[in-house]
Amino acid sequence: MKKICIIGASGKLGQYMIRHCLDRGFEVTGVCRQRSVSKLDAFKGQITLFPGDTNNRDVIQKAVDGCDGVLTVLVPWGRKHYSTGTAQAVLDYARPEARLIFSCGWHITLDGKDVYPSSLKRDEKIARLLGRVTGMIDIDDQVEACRRIFASSARWTVVRGSDLEEGASQGLPVWSRHVGDPILASNMTRRVDFALFMAAALENDGLIHEAPAIVGCQTPSALAHKNSNS
Protein backbone atom coordinates (compact mmCIF):
# COMPACT_ATOMS: atom_id res chain seq x y z
CA MET A 1 0.00 0.00 0.00
CA LYS A 2 1.69 3.20 -1.12
CA LYS A 3 -0.74 5.88 -2.24
CA ILE A 4 -4.07 6.47 -0.53
CA CYS A 5 -6.91 8.87 -1.31
CA ILE A 6 -9.20 10.09 1.48
CA ILE A 7 -12.61 11.27 0.28
CA GLY A 8 -14.11 13.61 2.87
CA ALA A 9 -10.70 14.43 4.32
CA SER A 10 -11.64 17.58 6.25
CA GLY A 11 -14.21 16.06 8.64
CA LYS A 12 -13.36 14.63 12.04
CA LEU A 13 -13.06 11.05 10.76
CA GLY A 14 -11.16 12.22 7.68
CA GLN A 15 -8.55 14.11 9.67
CA TYR A 16 -7.91 11.12 11.93
CA MET A 17 -7.55 8.94 8.83
CA ILE A 18 -5.00 11.34 7.33
CA ARG A 19 -2.91 11.08 10.50
CA HIS A 20 -3.08 7.25 10.56
CA CYS A 21 -2.12 7.06 6.86
CA LEU A 22 0.81 9.45 7.25
CA ASP A 23 1.97 7.48 10.31
CA ARG A 24 1.98 4.35 8.12
CA GLY A 25 4.20 6.13 5.58
CA PHE A 26 1.56 6.33 2.83
CA GLU A 27 1.46 9.10 0.24
CA VAL A 28 -1.91 10.79 0.85
CA THR A 29 -4.27 12.64 -1.47
CA GLY A 30 -7.59 14.01 -0.28
CA VAL A 31 -10.89 15.47 -1.42
CA CYS A 32 -12.80 18.03 0.62
CA ARG A 33 -15.20 20.87 -0.05
CA GLN A 34 -13.51 24.11 -1.16
CA ARG A 35 -14.84 25.91 1.94
CA SER A 36 -13.16 23.35 4.20
CA VAL A 37 -9.65 23.40 2.73
CA SER A 38 -8.35 25.57 5.59
CA LYS A 39 -9.37 22.89 8.11
CA LEU A 40 -6.42 20.92 6.75
CA ASP A 41 -3.78 23.63 7.17
CA ALA A 42 -1.98 21.47 9.72
CA PHE A 43 -1.24 18.94 6.96
CA LYS A 44 0.08 21.50 4.42
CA GLY A 45 3.01 20.06 2.49
CA GLN A 46 2.23 16.54 3.70
CA ILE A 47 -0.82 15.75 1.56
CA THR A 48 -2.12 16.69 -1.90
CA LEU A 49 -5.60 18.17 -1.83
CA PHE A 50 -8.25 18.12 -4.58
CA PRO A 51 -10.88 20.65 -3.45
CA GLY A 52 -14.45 19.86 -4.44
CA ASP A 53 -17.66 18.21 -3.34
CA THR A 54 -17.16 14.53 -2.69
CA ASN A 55 -19.74 13.64 -5.36
CA ASN A 56 -17.92 15.66 -8.04
CA ARG A 57 -16.91 12.95 -10.50
CA ASP A 58 -14.14 14.97 -12.17
CA VAL A 59 -12.52 15.74 -8.82
CA ILE A 60 -12.79 12.12 -7.66
CA GLN A 61 -11.32 10.86 -10.93
CA LYS A 62 -8.24 13.04 -10.50
CA ALA A 63 -7.87 12.37 -6.77
CA VAL A 64 -7.99 8.54 -6.97
CA ASP A 65 -5.70 8.33 -10.00
CA GLY A 66 -2.91 5.83 -9.29
CA CYS A 67 -4.11 5.13 -5.76
CA ASP A 68 -3.68 1.70 -4.15
CA GLY A 69 -6.46 2.41 -1.68
CA VAL A 70 -9.36 4.82 -1.15
CA LEU A 71 -10.89 5.67 2.23
CA THR A 72 -14.34 7.19 1.74
CA VAL A 73 -16.46 8.96 4.35
CA LEU A 74 -19.99 8.23 3.13
CA VAL A 75 -22.32 10.97 4.31
CA PRO A 76 -26.02 11.35 3.58
CA TRP A 77 -26.13 15.14 3.30
CA GLY A 78 -28.93 16.90 1.38
CA ARG A 79 -31.48 15.32 -0.94
CA LYS A 80 -29.45 15.27 -4.15
CA HIS A 81 -27.99 11.77 -3.93
CA TYR A 82 -24.73 12.87 -2.33
CA SER A 83 -23.84 9.41 -0.97
CA THR A 84 -24.64 7.54 -4.17
CA GLY A 85 -22.77 10.16 -6.20
CA THR A 86 -19.71 9.73 -4.00
CA ALA A 87 -19.79 5.93 -3.94
CA GLN A 88 -20.45 5.60 -7.67
CA ALA A 89 -17.59 7.93 -8.59
CA VAL A 90 -15.17 5.96 -6.39
CA LEU A 91 -16.39 2.64 -7.83
CA ASP A 92 -16.09 3.98 -11.38
CA TYR A 93 -12.69 5.66 -11.17
CA ALA A 94 -10.58 3.77 -8.61
CA ARG A 95 -8.24 1.15 -10.04
CA PRO A 96 -9.93 -2.28 -10.12
CA GLU A 97 -7.25 -3.71 -7.82
CA ALA A 98 -7.44 -0.83 -5.30
CA ARG A 99 -8.71 -1.49 -1.77
CA LEU A 100 -11.86 0.57 -1.21
CA ILE A 101 -12.94 1.23 2.37
CA PHE A 102 -16.21 3.07 3.06
CA SER A 103 -17.57 4.38 6.36
CA CYS A 104 -21.18 4.30 7.48
CA GLY A 105 -23.21 3.39 10.56
CA TRP A 106 -24.79 0.26 12.01
CA HIS A 107 -28.06 1.05 10.21
CA ILE A 108 -26.59 -0.32 6.98
CA THR A 109 -27.04 -4.09 6.58
CA LEU A 110 -25.21 -6.42 4.21
CA ASP A 111 -27.35 -9.54 4.53
CA GLY A 112 -30.42 -8.42 6.48
CA LYS A 113 -29.41 -10.53 9.50
CA ASP A 114 -28.64 -7.65 11.86
CA VAL A 115 -30.80 -7.44 14.97
CA TYR A 116 -31.20 -3.81 15.93
CA PRO A 117 -31.92 -2.46 19.42
CA SER A 118 -35.24 -0.60 19.54
CA SER A 119 -33.42 2.66 20.38
CA LEU A 120 -31.47 2.44 17.12
CA LYS A 121 -34.60 1.68 15.08
CA ARG A 122 -36.30 4.69 16.68
CA ASP A 123 -33.32 6.99 15.98
CA GLU A 124 -33.25 5.88 12.34
CA LYS A 125 -36.97 6.53 11.96
CA ILE A 126 -36.52 10.02 13.41
CA ALA A 127 -33.51 10.72 11.15
CA ARG A 128 -35.51 9.63 8.07
CA LEU A 129 -38.45 11.81 9.06
CA LEU A 130 -36.32 14.85 9.90
CA GLY A 131 -34.35 14.34 6.70
CA ARG A 132 -37.51 14.45 4.63
CA VAL A 133 -38.94 17.47 6.48
CA THR A 134 -35.76 19.57 6.54
CA GLY A 135 -34.17 18.31 3.32
CA MET A 136 -30.89 18.09 5.20
CA ILE A 137 -30.19 14.36 5.11
CA ASP A 138 -31.17 11.33 3.04
CA ILE A 139 -30.59 8.04 4.85
CA ASP A 140 -32.12 6.05 1.99
CA ASP A 141 -29.50 7.45 -0.36
CA GLN A 142 -26.73 6.17 1.93
CA VAL A 143 -28.50 2.78 1.95
CA GLU A 144 -28.58 2.82 -1.87
CA ALA A 145 -24.90 3.82 -2.01
CA CYS A 146 -24.02 0.76 0.09
CA ARG A 147 -26.27 -1.49 -2.02
CA ARG A 148 -24.22 -0.47 -5.06
CA ILE A 149 -20.95 -1.08 -3.23
CA PHE A 150 -22.12 -4.54 -2.05
CA ALA A 151 -23.12 -5.40 -5.64
CA SER A 152 -19.77 -4.38 -7.11
CA SER A 153 -16.84 -6.67 -7.82
CA ALA A 154 -14.37 -4.11 -6.44
CA ARG A 155 -12.23 -5.02 -3.41
CA TRP A 156 -14.50 -3.20 -0.95
CA THR A 157 -15.04 -3.15 2.80
CA VAL A 158 -17.89 -1.19 4.38
CA VAL A 159 -17.02 -0.32 7.99
CA ARG A 160 -20.14 0.20 10.11
CA GLY A 161 -19.48 2.51 13.05
CA SER A 162 -21.31 2.35 16.38
CA ASP A 163 -22.12 5.54 18.29
CA LEU A 164 -18.94 7.63 18.40
CA GLU A 165 -17.11 9.62 21.05
CA GLU A 166 -13.95 11.69 21.13
CA GLY A 167 -10.97 10.75 23.28
CA ALA A 168 -7.55 9.19 23.07
CA SER A 169 -7.07 5.98 21.13
CA GLN A 170 -7.83 2.73 22.94
CA GLY A 171 -6.55 0.56 20.09
CA LEU A 172 -8.05 -1.24 17.11
CA PRO A 173 -11.81 -1.77 17.57
CA VAL A 174 -13.22 -5.30 17.55
CA TRP A 175 -15.88 -6.25 15.04
CA SER A 176 -18.65 -8.63 14.26
CA ARG A 177 -20.74 -9.45 11.21
CA HIS A 178 -24.07 -8.62 12.76
CA VAL A 179 -25.45 -5.89 14.94
CA GLY A 180 -27.09 -7.73 17.83
CA ASP A 181 -24.02 -9.94 18.45
CA PRO A 182 -23.17 -9.63 22.18
CA ILE A 183 -19.66 -8.30 21.57
CA LEU A 184 -21.15 -5.11 20.11
CA ALA A 185 -23.61 -4.40 22.93
CA SER A 186 -21.70 -1.42 24.35
CA ASN A 187 -22.32 0.51 21.10
CA MET A 188 -19.46 2.99 21.51
CA THR A 189 -16.21 3.60 19.63
CA ARG A 190 -13.67 6.40 19.85
CA ARG A 191 -13.69 8.29 16.53
CA VAL A 192 -9.90 8.10 16.34
CA ASP A 193 -10.21 4.29 16.52
CA PHE A 194 -12.94 4.18 13.86
CA ALA A 195 -10.36 5.90 11.65
CA LEU A 196 -7.71 3.41 12.78
CA PHE A 197 -9.93 0.51 11.73
CA MET A 198 -10.52 2.16 8.32
CA ALA A 199 -6.77 2.62 7.75
CA ALA A 200 -5.91 -0.89 8.98
CA ALA A 201 -8.55 -2.40 6.67
CA LEU A 202 -6.51 -1.18 3.69
CA GLU A 203 -4.00 -3.94 4.43
CA ASN A 204 -6.38 -6.59 5.73
CA ASP A 205 -7.58 -8.69 2.80
CA GLY A 206 -9.63 -10.77 5.22
CA LEU A 207 -12.06 -7.86 5.31
CA ILE A 208 -12.68 -7.80 1.55
CA HIS A 209 -16.43 -8.06 0.88
CA GLU A 210 -17.21 -7.76 4.58
CA ALA A 211 -19.26 -5.09 6.37
CA PRO A 212 -17.75 -5.23 9.86
CA ALA A 213 -19.80 -3.59 12.63
CA ILE A 214 -17.25 -2.22 15.07
CA VAL A 215 -17.08 -1.34 18.76
CA GLY A 216 -14.28 0.01 20.97
CA CYS A 217 -11.87 -2.72 22.12
CA GLN A 218 -11.96 -1.46 25.73
CA THR A 219 -15.74 -1.30 26.03
CA PRO A 220 -17.40 -3.70 28.50
CA SER A 221 -19.00 -5.84 25.76
CA ALA A 222 -15.71 -6.13 23.85
CA LEU A 223 -13.82 -7.14 26.98
CA ALA A 224 -16.51 -9.63 28.01
CA HIS A 225 -16.54 -11.37 24.62
CA LYS A 226 -13.01 -10.78 23.43
CA ASN A 227 -12.40 -14.36 22.33
CA SER A 228 -15.57 -14.58 20.28
CA ASN A 229 -15.08 -11.82 17.71
CA SER A 230 -14.76 -12.61 14.00
Ligand X SMILES: NC(=O)c1ccc[n+]([C@@H]2O[C@H](COP(=O)([O-])OP(=O)(O)OC[C@H]3O[C@@H](n4cnc5c(N)ncnc54)[C@H](OP(=O)(O)O)[C@@H]3O)[C@@H](O)[C@H]2O)c1
- Report which secondary-structure segment, H or E, holds 103: strand 99-105
Q: How far is the CB of 24 from ligand X (least distance, A)?
A: 19
Q: Is 43 strand, coil or helix? A: helix
Residue 157 in contact with ligand X, rule: CB under 6 A: no
Binding-site member from 1, 36, 95, 180 for ligand X (CB under 6 A): 36
Please, which of residues 186-225 interact with ligand X by CB under 6 A?
191
Amino acid at 35: R
In the complex with ligand X, the residue whose CB is nearer, 3 or 190, is: 190
Complex with ligand X: residue 32 or 60, whichever CB lies closer: 32
> How far apart are the C-alpha atoms of 65 and 20, rounded to whole Å?
21
- Other Cβ atoms less than 10 A from the Cβ of 157: the count is 22
User: DSSP assignment, residue 45?
Assistant: T
In this structure, how many other beta carbons lie within 10 angstroms of the beta carbon of residue 30? 26
Residue 35, judged by CB atoms within 10 A of its CB (0-12, 13-18, 19+), counts as exposed
Q: Is residue 57 involved in binding ligand X (CB under 6 A)?
A: no
Residue 1 vs 51, nearer CB to ligand X: 51
Query: Which of 69, 105, 131, 216: binder of ligand X (CB under 6 A)?
Result: 105
Q: Which of 77, 117, 132, 140 is in the footprint of ligand X by CB under 6 A?
A: 77
Contacting residues toward ligand X, per CB under 6 A: 8, 10-14, 32-33, 36, 39, 73-75, 77, 103-105, 161, 163-164, 191
